[in-house]
Structure 1
Amino acid sequence: MILRPLFREKDIDLHIVLGTPILYSRSHNMIIFSDVHLGFEESVARGLDYSSRRASTSYTGMFIPKIQLRNTLKTLSFVFKYLKPKRVLINGDLKHAFDRLLRQEREEIRELFNYLLSNGIEEIIVVRGNHDNFLPIILKDYGIELMREYELYFNNYKTLFIHGHLEKDISKYDLVVIGHEHPSLRCFNAYKFPAFLIVPTTVGNKIIVLPAMSAYHPGTSISLDHNNYLSPLIKKYGILNKARVIVSIEYEKVEDVEFGIENIVSDDLVIIDNYQLDNKGISVIEFKDIETAFLMCGL
């Protein structure tokens, strides 16, 4: 088993692929991820700063290891070892430079798409993120349209996939899946864990925030302060004091300890699901809310 349900409601067909920032839907045979940011290493080498809406060359370029694509393919190879999805949904920021198309972006996006197609993927859906300008130049070679947003049903749950950087009336949806935030949970001022967030909203639905696929973008630490978030959807609709936080911890296999789908529940504050996979253990920890996560992490 490499899947852990994202929700306790069994009819919501969204599952975390263990040890990854990827969601999987059985009914649509689809994997979902966000914020790959291919080309980041070249942008850093050129001294391009995209930390604000205006690109600048305000710092001296430096060379960093090219690991974005390699880590992405490694993560996907793990998924393909256990699952045989036919569809992929990339929920924004496939590339990094938003004011140009870098050579590394062009080459690595093609390499990624060719890898997906060679592993049985029949449909690639790409939702536009704020970094995805000029992306249609590459997508047209694969017959892929860059979508502003995408809708699916999971049983009776009407779901919107949107990157999250733009305003949107989300009241007619049951679930809204975004990226953009790269959420993470800092623990004991030493560890930073990419996190899935499930945020109730003032209009009665839920926003699911995906962690970033990018190895170089571990994310902004989650917070109870709306002003610390980037997405106008979180700022406008999010009830942050009731947001659930889900993180994963990997460790070496421990002999004589039985791993499985045993649940450890403590006053409904924390749920820990322990799994054994290959030669490693994975614990998926779900906190009832952000405040509980902070208390458990020494913040």
Structure 2
Amino acid sequence: MAVVTKRIECKGETLLLTNQRAVFWPQNDMLILSDLHIGKTAHFRKSGVPISSNVLQKDLERLKTIIAYFRPKTILITGDLFHAEFNTDVMVFKTWMQQFKHINLILVKGNHDKHSFELYESLNIEILPHSLKKGPFVFTHNIKTLVDGEFYISGHTHPGVLIKGKGKQRIKLPCYQVTHQQLILPAFSLFTGLNTNIPSNLCANYAFTDLSVFKV
């Protein structure tokens, strides 16, 4: 799979938006992503819904590709690394992560990250309960009240954009949403819905496909 990037400037820093649902911050050798929801497919299978385990494998293959592409020192996850209770998908991820012991993994906890700290410790994950302030950015899972002067990088809402073509043709694409105070990341997991309800006049949408990242 190809990694395509789109360079944007935020608060004097360069950020690279990728078509693989993650952002790279070159100044800090940091890969930033959100909403992996590991364990979601196993959770549905346990409830009797026949969801393929290939969903998780495809997400992990994509993550491995962008790790190899950028070679980050740090991976920062802005919430919802996990989805539900401890299950087989979590064990798959735990085994998969053994190949990246050299990378510093940080999790700003999201509303779905309810596992015990023993699991996070076994994965060598640094846990932050609410937010991380680094450089000009505040990293958090979801922000409801914006503080003047701060710029937030968050996830949670699974942003998407509806693109209309000729006639009744239309397509929904995941996107990054950028305002003067916030960058909202797309959900990294492919097994998520898309929220297209935010009016486009309130933000700049950077949608992406397998071949490009473009401003809508």
With the shorter chain as reference, the TM-score category is 0.7 to 0.9
Task: Answer whether contact 1:163 1:178 (CA < 8 A) is retained.
Answer: yes
Partner of 1:194: 174
Partner of 1:125: 106
Query: What is the number of residues matched between the two proteins?
Result: 209
- Pairing 1:113–2:97 present: yes
- Aligned residue runs from structure 1 range 29-40, under 5 A: 29-40=29-40
Partner of 1:160: 138
- Aligned residue runs from structure 1 range 70-149, under 5 A: 70-97=57-84, 101-117=85-101, 120-121=102-103, 123-147=104-128, 148-149=130-131
Task: Answer whether contact 1:179 1:211 (CA < 8 A) is retained.
Answer: yes
Q: C-alpha deviations, 1:202-233, integer Å up to 9, x for none? A: xxxx1110001111114212432xxxxxxxxx
- The structure whose RCO (Cα within 8 Å, separation 6+) is larger is 2
Partner of 1:292: none
TM-score by length of structure 2 reads 0.86
**How many angstroms apart in 1 are the aligned matches of 2:148 and 2:45?**
42
- Pairing 1:245–2:205 present: yes
1:112, distance to aligned residue in structure 2 (A): 4.2
**How many angstroms apart in 2 are the aligned matches of 1:105 and 1:249?**
27
Q: Which runs of 5+ in 1 are unaligned?
A: 48-60, 201-205, 225-239, 251-281, 288-299
Quickly say closer, same or farther: Cα 1:169–1:187, change in 2 above 3 A: closer
Which structure is larger by alpha-carbon Rg, 1 or 2? 1
**How many angstroms apart in 2 are the aligned matches of 1:5 and 1:139?**
33
Q: Which runs of 5+ in 2 are unaligned?
A: none
Task: Answer whether contact 1:69 1:112 (CA < 8 A) is retained.
Answer: no
Paired residue type of 2:213: V
Quickly say closer, same or farther: Cα 1:91–1:3, change in 2 above 3 A: same
Paired residue type of 2:141: H
> Runs of at least 4 residues of structure 1 off by over 4 A?
166-169
1:172, distance to aligned residue in structure 2 (A): 4.2
Quickly say closer, same or farther: Cα 1:216–1:142, change in 2 above 3 A: closer
Paired residue type of 1:129: G
Paired residue type of 1:21: R
Provide the secondary structure at the position in 1 that maps to 2:125: coil
